[in-house]
Amino acid sequence: MRIGVNLWPFRMLIFRKPSQGIERPQMPADIVIVGGGPAGMACALRLSQLIDEHNPKNSDAQLSKENIYVLEKSREIGQHCLSGALLDPRSMCELLPGFENDAPLDAEVSKEAVYLLTEKGKLKFPITPPPLRDHGNYVVSLNRFVKWLGSKVEETGITIFTGFAGSELLLDGDRVSGVRTDDKGVDKQNQPKSNFEAGYDLQAKIVILAEGTRGSLTKQLIDRFALTRDRNPQTYGQGVKELWEVPSGRIAAGEVIYTMGWPLTSKEYGGAWIYGSPNNILSLGFVTGLDYPDPRLDPQRVLQEFKRHPFVAGLLEGGKMIRYGAKSLPYGGWWAIPPIAGNGWMILGDSAGLLNSRRLKGIHLAIKSGMLAAETAFEALKKNDFSAAALGDYQKRVESSWIKDELWKVRNFHQGFEHGFWRGMLHAGLQQFTGGRGVRDRYPSTPGYQRMKKLAVLPDDGGDEAHLLGDAKGDGKLTFDKLTDLYHSGTKHEEDQPAHLIIQDTDVCNQRCIKEFGSPCQHFCPANVYEMVDDATQPNGKRISLNPSNCVHCKTCDIHDPYQVITWVPPEGGGGPNYDGM
């Protein structure tokens, strides 16, 4: 892994683009599932179950699994999966009854506590608020859990192509007709190398998008069909996580701690989790809402400040940080969900925004959405009808399932915090007693990047937020600078490839953003990909430079840059973090 050192400082930035004018291998498919996380794997498994039930009873109308494919951009299943994580078992009990006997579950939740932190003190909630009661849930590593789910899919005979990213949607008029996979063996100048392999065109009857948060093909689809025009804008948080090995006795396996307050001030939204796993492994992380006002805020630093709180430092003292990672998550809730089915396509899990932000849980919803999409796809295969009307059944299934019941009750939760922590708590209380309604049925929301303030209206010294701004220095024991943390993410990419962070117009970075917002990409990127380097030829003496190999695929830059000029596209398949055990 190359970290932080830009080997090409004086080169023009060259961005990844699909190779043009070449012949591509064509591959017919019944169903292509893009993304092998919980949603995609559950979808594949449920499809297999339905086909297995159908075939023995229908010898004259056999369905085949041979043309069902899962595309996963990571080299191995689960490598790009990062979560807290607590698993609500509801959907797994439906998908694989008795799964508890076989699945890699670290511990059943046995104890919860919620604290409000001040700079040095803590106030324990006398009772755990109902949404944060986790008895019956399991502490898991999502990485290990998805590996296990993937092994179940492989047993069914459905093919999982790992190391293949979906890079473009194929369209036939208004129908989604397939997926193009990434071109391999393209050099930094976008020229084919001797090992060049053109991406495949998978011509599919149904494309199922299960790419997780801010899916890149999902974004193409949403833009192409203006799917969010009457929805609330999606809003996001960024979760930064570390795994620690701690001395025994610090936290029991199955113990769950949530905190609110410090180090955030009342102007930012977010909170922390601490989960205990067997063998003295402790998972801790901080989710910061990507709607904070000060562009100098750095979510990786927020986690470092959190660890300096005496309560947290006490849990970690004498321990060792062993893994690091970061990922965004969609917070916007029910009103931000786009249409999830159309002509030839369906959207699942985080890509659709099916996450309960009040509980910080989306795995069970992703799995359930995968199951409902599989049931719809199965009916469509039987009828040989892949139209918007046929696949629209998935939308109806979601709306009459417990996914809607759960998300409807929290439909206004995150929007209630738009004006700060204390007003948010009031709204949350009111919503609790009105079935999620609060003061009106649909609270509006604003895209988080629009809530970033210009430097001109912010105090130079950072004011109350000073401790959250700029890079964490790190003491190397309890707290870490970004590059040290990044080293523990196992991130690796092919070095000789064009940048997969596509900046539409670098003049915006070099001439406007640097002055108006102080180049927030340097701060919100948890992997040090963006740097402003000295360049006397630029009007402000600096220009944007990229270290794409550091990218942990969190998607924050695609979401949060104030001018919306950055597009994340998949790098060559196989590259990215290695979230082993995360």
Residues that bind ligand SF4 (CB under 6 A): 501, 525-527, 529, 551-557, 568
Question: Which tokens go with 392?
Answer: 């629209």
Question: CB of 210: closest distance to ligand FAD in angstroms?
Answer: 5
Amino acid identity for residue 50 in this structure: L
Say whether residue 241 binds ligand FAD (CB under 6 A).
yes
Strand (E) positions, 88-157?
Answer: 107-108, 111-117, 122-124, 138-139
Say whether residue 574 binds ligand FAD (CB under 6 A).
no
Question: CB of 559: closest distance to ligand SF4 in angstroms?
Answer: 8
Residue with smaller CB distance to ligand SF4, 216 or 376? 216
189 contact partners, CB below 8 Å, separation of at least 6? 14, 498
Residue with smaller CB distance to ligand FAD, 366 or 514? 366
Q: Which residues of 120-133 are buried (b: 16+ CB within 10 A; e: fewer)?
A: eebeeeeebeebbe
Q: Contacting ligand FAD (CB under 6 A), which of 43, 217, 373, 374?
A: 217
Residue with smaller CB distance to ligand FAD, 115 or 145? 145
Q: Contacting ligand FAD (CB under 6 A), which of 48, 67, 83, 491?
A: 83
Show the DSSP H helices in 282-384 as ranges. Answer: 299-307, 310-316, 349-352, 363-383
Cα distances (angstroms) measured from residue 12 to each of 189, 386, 565, 568: 10, 45, 17, 18
Q: Which of residues 157-176 bind ligand FAD (CB under 6 A)?
A: 165-166
E strand or H helix at 533: strand 530-534
Strand order in the sheet with 236-245: 122-124, 111-117, 255-261, 270-277, 281-289, 236-245, 320-330
Question: CB of 525: closest distance to ligand SF4 in angstroms?
Answer: 3
Say whether residue 84 binds ligand FAD (CB under 6 A).
yes
Say whether residue 570 binds ligand FAD (CB under 6 A).
yes
Expressed in angstroms, the distance from the first to the final Cα of the chain is 19
Question: Which tokens go with 387?
Answer: 């139209």
Say whether residue 285 binds ligand FAD (CB under 6 A).
yes
Q: Which listed range, 103-111, 345-353, 404-412, 519-527, lies at the site for ligand FAD (CB under 6 A)?
A: 345-353
- Spatial separation of the C-alpha atoms in residues 300 and 435, rounded to whole Å: 35
Q: Is residue 527 a contact partner of residue 576, using CB atoms and an 8 Å limit?
A: no
Residue with smaller CB distance to ligand SF4, 245 or 471? 471
Q: Which listed range, 37-45, 188-196, 415-423, 454-462, lies at the site for ligand FAD (CB under 6 A)?
A: 37-45
Question: CB of 346: closest distance to ligand SF4 in angstroms?
Answer: 25
Three-state secondary-structure class, residue 316: helix
Interface residues toward ligand FAD, by CB under 6 A: 34-40, 71-74, 80-81, 83-86, 142, 165-166, 210-213, 215-217, 239, 241, 285, 287, 327, 329, 348-351, 355, 360-364, 366, 570
